[in-house]
Amino acid sequence: MTALSKNWLTEKHIDFEYKKYLLLAYLQDVGKQFGETKLYPWLAELIEHYKSTVAVRENKQNLKNLFPHRISGIDTITKQVNYENILSDDELMQELENIIAYAIPQFENRVEEGKNVYDIVEDHLHLQPVGIIPLNSEYGYMFLKGGKNVSTNVYEYQVTFFENATEKFKAIHTHFIKTFAATISTTFQSIKVDLIRENKHIPNPAVYSIESELTLPMEETFLPIAKRMLVRHISQAGNKAES
């Protein structure tokens, strides 16, 4: 997989053709992953590259600050070292602006492609509670099953909260427990009973199943999208309970 450095715009040669080559090689590899319905970590990384490039375009001073400075002299009175920004060439600045102007729509197109894959996958996932859900649904088990894989992957999950000065966020942490093979007697309810019997530290867990109509890569797609679905479901259920 071709990687694209966070500082790809300002590293090494500031040359349009060279940067175009780096960018297109990266985007081609990302497109290959999306074509195989593999979304993570590539979609999140791609969005971050896009946001960073847009931010640089909107604030040219940030662009100058990204570049190293060189010593221009020493003030003999204050004994302070003076620096100058090496980005002083108008032609070099114009080359960077051309690279940014080219890169942003390229990122946008690939991000849109990734989001379309995400939406298609999510439309084929179905979340259901297994049995009665306790009042505190912020920890419990998540069952993943779907496509050609008839077994059930079980994860223990816990939703945590954190906030900054303006917003509150929810994050979900998962831990793989085991895979239950499909048998005539194996149901989601029977798996839940087995888990409660085996794991005494969660006597009354919330349990959700998420089934997929598609055969999906587990770590790259099914699990991360299922986690987001579960957090959204728990948040919406909590909001309804408070209203």
Sign of CA dihedral 23, 111, 7, 225: negative
Structural contact between residues 98 and 16, judged by C-beta atoms closer than 8 angstroms: yes
Cα–Cα distances in angstroms (integers) from residue 82 to residues 18, 63, 75, 90, in the given order: 32, 20, 7, 22
Per-residue confidence band for 57, with pLDDT thresholds at 50, 70 and 90: confident
Task: Count CB-CB contacts under 10 A for residue 119.
Answer: 10
Q: What is residue 150's predicted lDDT score, i.e. its pLDDT?
A: 85
Residue 84 pLDDT: 55
Q: 151 forms bridges with which residues in the sheet?
A: none
Per-domain residue ranges of the chain: 16-123, 126-242
CA distance 153 to 75: 67
d(C-alpha 182, C-alpha 191), whole Å:
11
Indicate if the pLDDT at residue 192 is higher than 60.
yes
**pLDDT, greater one: 93 or 17:** 17
Q: Would you say 46 and 30 are in contact if contact means Cβ atoms under 8 Å apart?
A: yes
Q: What end-to-end distance do the CA atoms of the chain give, in Å?
A: 47
Residue with the bigger pLDDT between 198 and 2: it is 198
The tens digit of pLDDT for each residue in 107-150 reads 999 999 999 999 999 999 999 999 999 988 999 999 999 988 78
The predicted-structure confidence for 141-183, as pLDDT tens digits, reads as follows 999 999 887 899 999 999 987 766 556 678 899 999 999 998 8
Confidence band (pLDDT; 50, 70, 90) for 240?
A: low
Instruction: Round the average pLDDT of the chain to a whole number and report it.
Output: 86
Four-CA torsion 168, 174, 180, 184, nearest 10 degrees: 0
For position 131, what pLDDT does the model report?
Answer: 94
Q: What is the pLDDT of residue 66?
A: 57
Tell me whether residue 206 is exposed, middle or buried, using C-beta atoms within 10 angstroms of its C-beta: 0 to 12, 13 to 18, 19 or more. buried
Q: What is the 3-state secondary structure (H, E, C) of the chain?
A: CCCCCCCCCCCCCCCHHHHHHHHHHHHHHHHHHHHCCCCCCHHHHHHHHHHHHHHHHHCHHHHHHHCCEEEEEECCCCCCEEEEECCCCHHHHHHHHHHHHHHHHHHHHHHHHHHHHHHHHHHCEEEEECCCCCCCCCEEEEEEEECCEEEEEEEEEEEEEEECCCCEEEEEEEEEEEEECCCCCCCHHHHHHHHHHHCCCCCCCEEEEEEECCCCCHHHHHHHHHHHHHHHHHHHHHHHHHC
What does the alpha-carbon distance between residue 179 and residue 161 come to, in Å, rounded to a whole number? 28
